[in-house]
Amino acid sequence: MESNLHIPESVAIIMDGNGRWAKKRGLPRTMGHKQGCTAIEKLLPEASDLGIRYLTVYAFSTENWKRSKDEVDGLMQLFRFYAGRLLKAATEKNVRIRMIGDRRRFQPDIIESINRLEEETKNNTGLTFVVAANYGGRDEIRRAVMRYAEDYKAGRVSADAFAGPDAKVPEGELTEEGFAAYLDTAEIPDPDLVIRTSGELRLSNFLIWEAAYSEIVVTDVLWPDFDKDELLACIAEFNKRSRRFGGV
Ligand code: FPP
């Protein structure tokens, strides 16, 4: 199947269903998240071999702090544990790691390992693995507006951010591209395909600016059961869609 498929450049995944996966087995929710991490670990090299250039995963949302202390602590412990393994896997596969979201809310040791993951993989030229952590689309836009306002006040906004005579917005106004440069995802191409596991038909505050024209594929598979074959099935579904970007 693989050889006939057009592989999208940028894929983003809402990894849902860890809790249900655990519940079905009578296990604590954290075991579902642990198995979810194993699924990411397996998928990363496979996505890279398929030729995907950007893979973004929704690991922790700005709303996830509302979960029980046990569950939040469990997820933080998983971040700590997997940071080291991720660095090793990224180095082996020439993967560059980026984190989107507001990292300031994490414990200092987690912030440090996020910074280290980015720093030590920044010159890798293979797949870019983007982890959304303490990420919310509205919060990302809010922070972008704050950064833009600060730059504007200080006279630091690049002239390129404003429309010239041939632009689709009135001359002199901030362009969409000019604004997008202030988002966490600056320099990461918008997702061609957004996959959501475990059946729900929502974006849940994920990449709400960037996914404006993305194809959305929802599968009933729970995230811990998601594997390369499921990814290929989602890509096959993506291949059936015709993307018009608002044209005809
Ligand atoms: C949704 O399942 C999943 C999450 C809120 C967390 C996903 C996080 C991981 C797989 C860990 C990522 C870790 C690293 C290091 C990248 P859910 O709990 O909402 O499931 P449910 O809807 O069945 O309850």
Q: Is residue 2 part of a domain?
A: no
DSSP code of residue 101: S
* pLDDT tens figures, 203-222: 999 999 999 999 999 999 99
pTM surpassing 0.85? Answer: yes
Phi first, then psi: give them for residue 180, nearest 5 degrees: -60, -25
User: Do the domain assignments include residue 73?
Assistant: yes
Task: Please report which helix (H) or strand (E) contains residue 215, including its range.
Answer: strand 215-218
- Domain harbouring 120, CATH code: 3.40.1180.10
Q: Which residues contact 68 (CB under 8 A, 6 or more apart)?
A: none
Q: Ligand 1 site: residues with CB under 6 angstroms?
A: 15-20, 33, 36-37, 40, 59, 64, 78-79, 82, 131, 198
Domain that holds residue 36: 9-136+191-239
Residue 183 within a domain? no
| 156 is a domain residue | no
Give the CB-side neighbour count of residue 33, counting CA atoms within 13 A: 19
- Whether 79 is covered by a domain: the verdict is yes
**51 lies in a domain?**
yes
The Cα 73–Cα 79 span in angstroms is 10
Predicted confidence band of residue 244 (pLDDT cuts 50, 70, 90): confident
Q: Which residues contact 248 (CB under 8 A, 6 or more apart)?
A: none
For a mutational test of ligand 1's pocket, the pick from 13, 14, 15, i.e. the residue with the most ligand atoms closer than 8 A to its C-beta, is: 15
Structural domain total, the chain: 1
pLDDT, one tens digit per residue, over 80-116 is 999 999 999 999 999 999 999 999 999 999 999 999 9
- Angle, helices 69-93 vs 29-50, to 10°: value is 20
- Residue 228, in any domain of the structure: yes
